[in-house]
Amino acid sequence: MHNDDTIDEEKGDAKKTELISFYYCKKGAVDVVDDMAAHYSTARKKNRWPFVTFYSIRNVAAINAGIVLLSHKNPPNVYRSRRRSIKDIAFSLISDYANKRMNNPSLTHELRVEIEKIVALTLRNYQ
């Protein structure tokens, strides 16, 4: 695709190669994704690079899940809010663990009640 150093004549700048022009043309989408990930981030403050990489992948996955969900022919109105879709993704990921945890006999009654509320809220949203 961009194997040589030909100058891009279409953009009007005779000093830039086609590769540089192509990069600048596509750079806006990366800025939009970065802005979306910063606005509703799933990350926590960590300094170790594996955590930073994992949280970045999780942010992009949440953005992509929202795009796929809204790209259907009749997208659900419930997920027009990105925050709502991220919250529901998180609840669906923890609901199985919460159900197992609720059956733990060493939990306090208050904690069981809170887990039941979360599980009931998750089930209500998906029915």
Q: Given this model, what pLDDT does residue 32 score?
A: 79
Above 80 in pLDDT, residue 113?
yes
Confidence of residue 8 (pLDDT cuts 50, 70, 90): low
Above 70 in pLDDT, residue 65?
yes
If one compares 87 and 60, the residue with the highest pLDDT of the two is 60
If one compares 106 and 74, the residue with the highest pLDDT of the two is 106
If one compares 4 and 67, the residue with the highest pLDDT of the two is 67
Above 80 in pLDDT, residue 59?
yes
- The DSSP secondary structure of the chain, one letter per residue, reads ---S--B-STTS-TTSBHHHHHHHHHHHHHHHHHHHHHHT-------SHHHHHHHHHHHHHHHHHHHHHHTSSS--GGGGSHHHHHHHHHHHHHHHHHHHHHT-TTS-HHHHHHHHHHHHHHHHHT-
The mean pLDDT of 28-37, rounded to a whole number, is 78
